Amino acid sequence: MTTARDLTLVVLGLPAERPVAQGDLSLALAGAEAVDLLGSGALTLDGDRMLPGPPAPTGDRLLDEASASLSRREPYDTVAEWLWRRGAELAASYAVDLERDGLVVHPRGHFGFRSAHTVLVDSPARRAAEERRAAGEPVLVALLAAAGIEAEPDETAETLTGDAVTAVLAAVGDAVAQLEAIRLRRDVENAAFDNVWRA
């Protein structure tokens, strides 16, 4: 299992009343993919630039897509640029992928990323993802925190991940903060627009 699939399984296993913004989760999933690509040697960082390694199948369809989406021309993508590009609608892609693999089911007529009718199948993959979360694995905990699901990890946990992974996790946090700022600005603009029409 990949980090992104584990992250998706953990989120889908949350109670329906715990809100998870799909945009935040999509950025965290892109970060999870980058971490796994770093671990496999398919990616290295030069500062904040993502340098792709030789293409090598990972055995995971979406992670192979992530690898293929890396820019192979200079100037290479920055981590932030890639997170925004790769993260578009990524949460929905992972939900569909897990459903295709029989790890999540929707009773007939009920669809959506985390509808009240989403049912996670009791599977070794789900148990492994929950065990990874319960063990406090630093990368997964940091990504859950970025998506607003867990408390921020302490700094000692972040030092266990290495400089490149820490840089990716920091970029995910920054991207999620930017997305929240965009939401707040949109809400303020919408409220101002509504007030004009009420005046």
The sign one gets for the Cα dihedral 153, 58, 101, 79 is positive
| pLDDT given for residue 70 in this prediction | 95
* b/e code 158-186 from CB counts within 10 Å (16+ = b): beebeebbbbbbbbbbebbeebeeeeeee
Q: What is the DSSP string of 111-129?
A: -STT-TT-EE---HHHHHH
> Picking from 18-32, 100-114, 115-129, 159-173, which range would have the lowest pLDDT averaged per residue?
100-114
Query: pLDDT tens digit string along 118-150?
Result: 788 999 999 999 999 999 999 999 999 998 888
Tokens of 1: 């299992």
Angle of helix 22-40 relative to helix 79-86, nearest 10 degrees, comes to 120
| pLDDT given for residue 47 in this prediction | 93
Query: pLDDT tens digit string along 9-51?
Result: 999 988 877 778 889 999 999 999 999 999 999 999 999 999 9
Q: Examine the pLDDT at 173 and tell me if it is beyond 90.
A: yes
Domains defined along the chain, listed by start: 3-198 (1.10.3630.10)
Q: How many CA atoms lie within 13 A of 135 on its CB side?
A: 10
